[in-house]
Amino acid sequence: GHAVLQAAQGRIGAPYKYGGAGPDAFDCSGLVTYAHRQIGVAVPRTAAQQFDAATPVKRDELRPGDLVFFRLEGRDVSHVGIYAGDGRFVHAPQRGGNVRLASLDEEWYRQRYAGAGRFYAARP
């Protein structure tokens, strides 16, 4: 999980680009795809597909490198970030933004939180 997080943190500041999967520009699910590719783990391409395929994780059991999912509009999951610890996550926000850290405690994200999951094999 830490290797996934490190790969994402290394891209902080990179610009948002719809459909971008790195290494120079990203959308939210592209950042997740890129970070997992760095450790040799293939993941689905969209946030909704990632949500459906990930092993679910309870919010109080989040570890760095886990994925946090959001429903930005409607009922479908449409945004994903990589949990960084201490209630924070790395994500590629919408157009005009750069890859950055945000907080799960921000009201906007708290209201849209859909769940969490992981693709890497967790060590005890």
Exactly one of 11, 71, 88, 91 is catalytic; which is it?
Answer: 91
Strand partners, 103: 88
Q: Which of 28, 68, 92, 114 is catalytic?
A: 28
Is 53 tagged catalytic? no
Is 18 considered catalytic here? no
Q: Considering 11, 71, 79, 88, which one is annotated as catalytic?
A: 79
Q: Which residues have a Cβ under 8 Å from the Cβ of 58 and sit 6 or more positions away?
A: 116
**Is 2 an annotated catalytic residue?**
no
- Residues labelled as active-site residues: 28, 79, 91
